[in-house]
């Protein structure tokens, strides 16, 4: 939960998944990286590329999109502290396109660094594996989402998941988060048409669950949203220290949500 240094979100993420010591985190401070900025909808990796470095997301959001079609299905979303293409360490061939959702800041880290971690810090190495498994669990959960829930519930579930993951790295503590997605991005994620995405968001607003103006989302009624989405954060695999029962059950102060 320390702040300040460039990779603090990654440190938070790792700490939420496994046991990492201060010595382990010191190694991260030496991590060689190139910082890169991307603008909205800009591609970072393309289908067919071969990866030799990993994309650690520092700010913003990234998405994996299906290769085929013009406005391809979004299969997963990364938040700060995530390593979007960790699997390229073992399967370097890229399937689909890695695209920025809104402006994003990324640290590119050579594969070599992560390979050396297995001797320098087995704990981090093992926690990175847990990160991969976490990605898998999210993917499985999204299968359930697309398969068995309607549009309203899908959108609600996505918002719940993103909020929880942001809180896990110390963002959005007050249920107010930066969401630079277009409604079409949301539609591509939830597998609905852009028109229906719009109507769905309106319904969430009508139920006084969320406010979404411009690029800022405010969750007015977290317990209500969780109930609607039947959201259970267990699958994320986070330890319950900071994002668990305490803050999860707390409703944001009603005074803070005066209508615009």
Single residue of 68, 150, 234, 245 touching DNA by CB under 7 A? 150
Give least dist CB 218 to its own copies, A.
28
Single residue of 47, 111, 196, 230 touching DNA by CB under 7 A? 196
Report H helices in the chain: 8-17, 22-29, 111-120, 122-148, 151-168, 183-190, 194-206, 222-229, 240-243, 245-249
Residue 90 DSSP label:
T
Alpha carbons within 13 angstroms on the beta-carbon side of residue 156 total 27
Question: Residue 120 binds which entry of its own copies, DNA, none, with Cβ cut-offs from 5 to 8 Å by kind?
Answer: none
Single residue of 95, 111, 196, 205 touching its own copies by CB under 8 A? 95
User: How many residues in the shown chain lie near DNA by CB under 7 A?
Assistant: 19
191 binds DNA (CB under 7 A): yes
SS3 117: helix
Residue 250 DSSP label:
P
Both structure tokens of 1: 């939960």
**C-alpha span between 98 and 95 (Å, rounded):** 9
208 binds DNA (CB under 7 A): no
String marking each residue 112-141 x if it binds DNA according to CB under 7 A? ------------------------------
String marking each residue 48-87 x if it binds its own copies according to CB under 8 A? ----------------x-x-xx--xx-xx----------x
183 binds DNA (CB under 7 A): yes
Burial of 157 (0-12, 13-18, 19+ CB in 10 A): buried
Which residue, 72, 78, 186, is CA-closest to 134? 78
Single residue of 76, 178, 184, 211 touching DNA by CB under 7 A? 184
152 binds DNA (CB under 7 A): yes
Kindly state the greatest CA–CA separation across the chain.
55
**C-alpha span between 30 and 26 (Å, rounded):** 7
State the residues that interact with DNA by CB under 7 A. Answer: 40-41, 150-152, 182-184, 191-196, 198-199, 201-202, 214
By the criterion CB under 8 A, which residues form the site for its own copies? 64, 66, 68-69, 72-73, 75-76, 87, 90-91, 93, 95-96, 126, 129-130, 132-133, 135-137, 139-140, 142-144, 146-148, 191, 230, 234-235, 237
């Amino acid at each position: 939960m320390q702040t300040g240094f460039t990779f603090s979100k990654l440190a938070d993420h790792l700490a939420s998944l496994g046991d990492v010591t201060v010595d382990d985190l010191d190694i991260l401070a030496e991590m060689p990286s190139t910082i890169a900025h991307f603008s909205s909808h800009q591609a970072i990796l393309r289908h067919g590329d071969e990866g030799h470095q990993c994309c650690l997301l520092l700010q913003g959001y990234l998405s994996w999109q299906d290769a085929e079609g013009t406005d391809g299905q979004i299969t997963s979303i990364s938040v700060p502290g995530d390593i979007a293409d960790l699997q390229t360490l073992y399967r370097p061939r890229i399937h689909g396109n890695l695209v920025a959702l809104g402006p994003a800041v990324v640290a590119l880290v050579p594969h070599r660094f992560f390979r050396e971690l297995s001797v320098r810090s087995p704990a981090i190495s093992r926690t990175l594996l847990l990160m991969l498994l976490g990605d898998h669990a999210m993917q499985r959960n999204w299968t359930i989402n697309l398969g068995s829930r309607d549009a309203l519930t899908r959108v609600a579930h996505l918002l719940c998941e993103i909020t929880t993951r942001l809180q896990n790295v110390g963002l959005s503590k007050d249920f107010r988060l930066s969401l630079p997605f277009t409604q079409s991005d949301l539609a591509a994620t939830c597998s609905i048409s852009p028109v229906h995405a719009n109507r769905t968001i309106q319904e969430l607003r009508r139920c006084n669950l969320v406010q979404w103006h411009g690029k800022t989302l405010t969750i007015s009624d977290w317990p209500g949203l969780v109930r609607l989405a039947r959201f259970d954060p267990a699958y994320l695999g986070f330890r319950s220290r900071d994002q668990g029962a305490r803050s999860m059950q707390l409703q944001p102060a009603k005074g803070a949500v005066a209508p615009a």
